[in-house]
Amino acid sequence: MRVSRTCPSCGYTADYASAALADARHRQHSCAKHRRGLEQAARRAARLQGRVPRDCTHPQARHRHGTRAAYVKDRCRCTECTAANTAASRCVTRERIYGRWHPYVDAGPVREHIAALRAAGIGVERIAQLAGFSVSHIRELAQHGRGDTPRTQRVRPSTATRVLGIRIDDANRAPNSRVDATGTRRRLQALIAIGWPAELLAAQLDRRPSSLRRSMTGDFVTARTAQDIATLYERLWNDRPPRTTSEQRAAADAARAHAAARRWLPPLAWDDIDTDSVPPPAIVGTSPGNDMDEIAVERALAGDHITYEDLTTVEQQEVIRRLTTRGSSIRDIAAQLGTTKRTVSRRRASRGAA
């Protein structure tokens, strides 16, 4: 039968297996240690009662709960923010013990990167939005003091990482900012050159054809337009336009003819469609039926759902020539391309393959 003992001096209470064990062990406890534990528990309870959650009221930066920034800047004492502050303090202590504590780094590279971003058309407000800082903080990092001395000479490593991580590209520009239209124009021309009608591209972008034509003729477009067209280009540059119906085939042929008349280049003609300063030389004498897409040829050879009607004249001849070289019979070639043996025989005869 268990026996309970309570110290009349400090209130320490414990259960023991027997009365003899209680008499022997209970007097060995430390009243001072028990009182210290009670005092610590009381202080902990008082701190818990004083942990008032506070939301961020800053006009620009929106501090989130569960971060040290909310604990310090907003004076939030909720459980999540307190735990984040405790973890950060322990990390600092540990890094100092190991000799790895470097709280600041040189602000020069950060300032130079901000200047490069601004020169590329990415403004201070957009930089602040991408980095998660206030606009005033970015301006302070970018400004110089008296003479050539910068106002901010050191920054936190986390600040440097977030600012230096912003790349100079159209995706990081403000949606309504104006960017050079060269890459956008070349992408649209390349898609039309492989048979995508402008009307179909406009429908894919949820825009009017007249709006798409302005993007192809103007010197500048908005960053949102450039990004939308770049995304569409990445999705379609390796795909053939639909050719199921006679209307679709006619539209694709008309798009090819329109591009060939203006010597627009297909996607594979560009090394870098954005940065090539001089267009590669166009193929002289090409026509909508006489240009060859090597990707379409390879897909037809691999049996990747490319039919005879999907290919241009020169592509049809090349596919039949290569399949013949590989030893395929007329029957096999016709079955693979979804056409008749008569058509394959006629094409082979025209190239001297028979």
Q: Is the pLDDT of residue 50 over 60?
A: yes
What is the per-residue pLDDT across 161-219, written as a single tens digit (0 to 9) for each?
999 999 887 677 777 778 888 889 999 999 999 999 999 999 999 999 888 888 888 88
How does strand 13-16 pair with strand 3-6?
antiparallel
Contact 238, 195 (CB under 8 A): no
Contact 265, 279 (CB under 8 A): yes
Place of tokens 């604990």: 71
Q: Is the pLDDT of residue 280 over 70?
A: no
Instruction: Please report the pLDDT score of residue 231 as a whole number.
Output: 92
Q: Is the pLDDT of residue 286 over 50?
A: no
Contact 272, 296 (CB under 8 A): no
On the CB side of 207, how many CA atoms lie within 13 Å of its CA? 16
Instruction: Please report the pLDDT score of residue 353 as a whole number.
Output: 43
Domain residue extents for the chain: 42-101, 105-168, 178-269, 294-351
Q: Is the pLDDT of residue 284 over 50?
A: no
Copy the structure tokens of residue 147. 């003479």
Instruction: Please report the pLDDT score of residue 263 as a whole number.
Output: 86
Closest C-alpha among 346, 324, 349 to residue 336: 324
Place of tokens 């977030």: 162
**pLDDT band at residue 298 under the 50/70/90 scheme:** confident
Other Cβ atoms less than 10 A from the Cβ of 116: the count is: 12
Q: Give me the chain's average pLDDT, please.
A: 85
Copy the structure tokens of residue 196. 């995508």
Rounded to an integer, the average pLDDT of 25-49 is 87
**pLDDT band at residue 97 under the 50/70/90 scheme:** very high
- SS3 letters for the chain? CCEEEECCCCCCEEEECCHHHHHHHHHHCCHHHHHHHHHHHHHHHHHHHCCCCCCCCCCCCCCCCCCHHHHHHCCCCCHHHHHHHHHHHHHHHHHHHHCCCCCCEECHHHHHHHHHHHHCCCCHHHHHHHHCCCHHHHHHHHCECCCCCECCCEECHHHHHHHHCCCCCHHHCCCCCEEECHHHHHHHHHHHHCCCCHHHHHHHCCCCHHHHHHHHHCCEEEHHHHHHHHHHHHHHCCCCCCCCCHHHHHHHHHHHHHHHHCCCCCHHHCCCCCCCCCCCCCCCCCCCCCCCCHHHHHHHHCCCCCCHHHCCHHHHHHHHHHHHHCCCCHHHHHHHHCCCHHHHHHHHHHHCCC
Report the alpha-carbon distance of residue 21 to residue 211 in Å, rounded: 92
* pTM score, whole prediction: 0.49
Closest C-alpha among 133, 135, 153 to residue 144: 153
CATH no. for 105-168? 1.10.260
φ, ψ for residue 106, nearest 5 deg: -65, 135
Rounded to an integer, the average pLDDT of 220-247 is 89
Instruction: Please report the pLDDT score of residue 205 as a whole number.
Output: 92
